[in-house]
């Protein structure tokens, strides 16, 4: 019934679902936000501090580490505050359910991209993946998602051209 690939994918998706339920959306998004903010702010700090120091590589590494550490500390305090507020108003379960759904969706998107790349680079593996039930469901899901985006863009284009 299920192939070895299906069993592996079910294990990965179950792990993502359980991890999302355990951590919640807030706890999974805060590190991503910290990394994004770090890559935005670190060059600004580097440019400001480059006037005082000569070693550019060391300065880049120090500014990156210091910026990430400071932003991560600040965002961890924000995360704790948000989680405390959600506990007070009895909505921590919403955070956990949305976190599980988000991680499940992200995991399926990563699986979709990896399998798509493997199929593109080595078409002889297409036969192996076509027998997988889970991969067929994931490809059908993302086909429908991309199809709905395409239809939405068509409607926006149609409305914009009919008004103008």
Distance separating alpha carbons of residues 120 and 99, to the nearest angstrom: 31
Q: Could you read off the pLDDT of 52-106 as tens digits, one per residue?
A: 767 777 777 777 888 888 888 998 899 899 888 888 888 888 989 999 999 999 9
Give residue limits of the domains in the chain: 4-163
Residue 71, SS3 per DSSP: helix
Identify the pLDDT of residue 129: 84
Residue 76: HSE in the Cβ half-sphere, 13 Å Cα cutoff: 6
DSSP structure class, residue 54: S
pLDDT of residue 156 exceeding 60, the answer is no
pLDDT at 104: 93
Residue 100's pLDDT is: 94
Which pLDDT belongs to residue 106? 92
Cα–Cα distance measured from residue 118 to residue 121, given in angstroms and rounded to the nearest whole number = 5
Taking the chain, what is the end-to-end CA distance rounded to the nearest angstrom? 55
Q: Residue 163: what pLDDT?
A: 53
Answer for the pair 135, 9: CB distance below 8 angstroms, yes or no: yes
């Amino acid at each position: 019934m299920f192939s070895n690939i299906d069993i592996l994918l079910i294990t990965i998706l179950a792990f993502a679902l359980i991890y999302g339920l355990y951590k919640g959306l807030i706890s999974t998004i805060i590190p991503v936000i910290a990394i994004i903010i770090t890559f935005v702010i670190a060059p600004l700090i580097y440019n400001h501090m480059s006037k005082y120091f000569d070693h550019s590589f060391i300065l880049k590494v120090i500014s990156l580490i210091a910026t990430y550490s400071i932003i991560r500390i600040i965002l961890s305090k924000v995360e704790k505050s948000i989680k405390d507020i959600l506990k007070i108003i009895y909505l921590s379960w919403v955070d956990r359910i949305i976190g599980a759904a988000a991680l499940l969706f992200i995991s399926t998107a990563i699986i979709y991209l990896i399998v798509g790349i493997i199929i593109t680079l080595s078409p002889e593996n297409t036969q192996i993946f076509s027998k997988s039930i889970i991969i067929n469901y994931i490809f059908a899901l993302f086909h429908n998602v991309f199809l709905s985006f395409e239809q939405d863009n068509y409607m926006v284009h149609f409305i914009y051209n009919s008004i103008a």
